[in-house]
């Protein structure tokens, strides 16, 4: 009878331990998902400076534009067309 009681106590301790471990894993996963969502929002929320090609009118990010004497272009070909 003593052993049966001991087995019940050990089983209960095991189930409690397992439950807490799963709960902790879930919390960690939620925290990670939250961090990723925040990072995504931060990146999406950043405004990107846009510009317009002086030759064809294409809108493109300023960082990808080709700088000319008269303004921005979508590529070196259009800079050449417009400025020569």
Least CB distance from residue 38 to Zn ion, whole Å? 37
- Spatial neighbors of 72 by CB under 8 A, at least 6 apart, are 51, 52, 53, 54, 62, 65, 66
Residue 7 structure tokens = 């087995």
Comparison of 51 and 74: residue with beta carbon closer to Zn ion:
74
Least CB distance from residue 72 to Zn ion, whole Å? 9
Least CB distance from residue 83 to Zn ion, whole Å? 12
Q: How far apart are CA 21 and CA 57, in angstroms?
A: 58
Q: Give residues in contact with Zn ion (CB under 5 A).
A: 53, 55-56, 58, 74, 78
Comparison of 51 and 53: residue with beta carbon closer to Zn ion:
53
């Amino acid at each position: 009878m003593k052993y049966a009681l001991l087995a019940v106590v050990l089983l209960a301790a095991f189930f409690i331990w397992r439950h807490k471990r799963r709960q902790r894993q879930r919390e960690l996963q939620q925290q990670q998902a939250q961090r990723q969502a925040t990072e995504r929002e931060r990146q999406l929320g950043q405004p990107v400076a846009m510009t317009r090609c002086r030759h064809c009118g294409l809108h493109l990010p300023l960082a990808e534009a080709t700088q000319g004497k008269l303004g921005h272009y979508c590529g070196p070909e259009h800079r050449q067309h417009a400025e020569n």
